[in-house]
Amino acid sequence: MLKEITDKSYEIFGRYNPARPLDICTECCMTPEDESRLAGMRVQDIPVQLLSDYNDGAKPLKTRVEEIKHFLPRYLELIGLFQFPAHSAELSFSRVVPFDKNEWTEAETGVLREFSRAYFRKCLSIYPIPSASDSITTILIMFQGAESGLRELFPVYELLEIWEAEATNESLLHFRDLYFHGFDPYNPAKLSSPFGDSELASVLRIWIESENTRQLFSSAIEKLILEDNSLSDIDAGELSLLYEILGNG
C-alpha cells in the first residue's frame, strides 16, 4: 500500500523542476558541487545523506513550492523506509512549512494525506520503530510540525482514529510508550520531545484521558495480558500498571 502511494506521488509531482540555485546555503551548509549534484540527479536516486544536508541546511523561511514538490516523493520514499532525511525525524517535513494550501492541488494534498494514514498504520504495526531513539510520539510530531498549516495537511485526529481501530499488540505497546514516556515526567502538559509543542501535547493529553480512549485501550490491554505469554517482564509490568490506571481514571 505504502509503495503504491509513493509511486503515485512520483507521478503527481513529476512535472516539477526546481529553479537554480536551490534554496540552500552553499557557503557552509552544502558545497556548490553537492547543490549541483542534487539539482541534477534523478529524484529516485538521491541518497538520504544528500537530502538530509539539503533539508537541515540554512534556508529561507519559505522554500519555493516547486522545489519542495520536486523533491517530495523522495522524502516520502525514504520516510517510508524509516530513513528520515533530517538530523531528527521530527524535522523531516520542515521544508514544507509554512504550508499554504492555495499553492497545492487537490491531488497533491490527497496523496500526502494518503501517505500519512498508510505510514501511521505501518508504524503502529511495528514495535519498536525501526530507527534509533524514535517512537510513535516522534512520528506524530513529524506530521504535526509547529505550524497550523502542516496540521491541516496531516490532521492528527485522523491518525488517532486509525490508532483506535488498530488494537494489535504493537499498537498497544506504542500507546504504553506515549502514556508513560511521551510526556515530560515533571510537566504532564508538555511532550518529552523538544520538538513537540503545547498544542499537540494538549490534543494528545485530552485524547489519552478521554473516557472512550481509556475504555478502548483498557479492554485491549486486558486481552493482551491474558492471552500473550511472550511479553517481557517490563512490558507485562507496565501494561498491567497502565490497565489499572485506565480502569481507575
pLDDT recorded at residue 146: 58
Q: What is the pTM of this model?
A: 0.94
Mean pLDDT of 107-114: 96
Say how far residue 204 (Cα) sits from the centre of its chain: 14
Give SS3 for 10.
helix
Those residues with Cβ within 8 angstroms of residue 165's Cβ, 6 or more apart along the chain or in another chain? none
- Give the rounded percent of residues in the chain with a pLDDT score beyond 70: 98
- In 61-197, where does DSSP find H-type helix? 65-80, 106-124, 136-144, 148-153, 156-165, 169-181
Give DSSP secondary structure letters for 61-80: SS--HHHHHHHHHHHHHHHH
Q: Which pLDDT score is estimated for 125?
A: 96
For position 148, what pLDDT does the model report? 61
Looking at residue 132, its pLDDT comes to 84
C-alpha–C-alpha distance, residues 138 and 142, integer Å: 6
- Please determine, for residue 223, whether its predicted confidence score (pLDDT) is greater than 90: yes
Q: How many CB atoms lie within 10 A of CB 34?
A: 18
For residues 9-28, give the mean pLDDT. Answer: 95
For the record, the C-alpha cell of 103 comes out as 499553492
Tens-digit pLDDT profile for residues 159-210: 999 999 988 999 999 999 999 999 999 999 999 999 999 999 999 999 999 9
What proportion of the chain, given as a percentage, has pLDDT over 90?
85
| Distance, CA of 154 to CA of 143 (rounded, Å) | 6
| Cβ atoms of 123 and 88 closer than 8 Å | no
Q: For 31-52, what is the mean pLDDT? A: 97
| Dist CA 19 CA 246 (whole Å) | 54
Whole-number pLDDT of residue 167: 83
> What value does the mean pLDDT of the chain take?
93
Q: What number of helices (H) and strands (E) belong to the chain?
A: 12, 2
Q: Would you call 3 exposed, middle or buried from its count of C-beta atoms within 10 A (0-12, 13-18, 19+)? A: exposed
pLDDT of residue 97: 84
Residue 1 has pLDDT above 90, yes or no: no
What's the pLDDT at 152? 83
Torsion of CA 183, 189, 193, 197, to 10 degrees: 150
pLDDT at residue 149 in the model:
72
Residue recorded with cell 512490558: 235
The string of pLDDT tens digits covering residues 116-137 is 999 999 999 999 999 988 999 9
pLDDT over 80 at 248, yes or no: no
Residues 6+ apart with CB under 8 A from 66: 16, 17, 18, 19
- Mean pLDDT across the stretch 38-53? 97
pLDDT of residue 249: 60
Which pLDDT score, from 0 to 100, does residue 151 have?
83
How high is the pLDDT of residue 112?
A: 96
Rounded mean pLDDT of 212-228?
A: 93
- CA 214 to chain CA centroid, Å, is 24
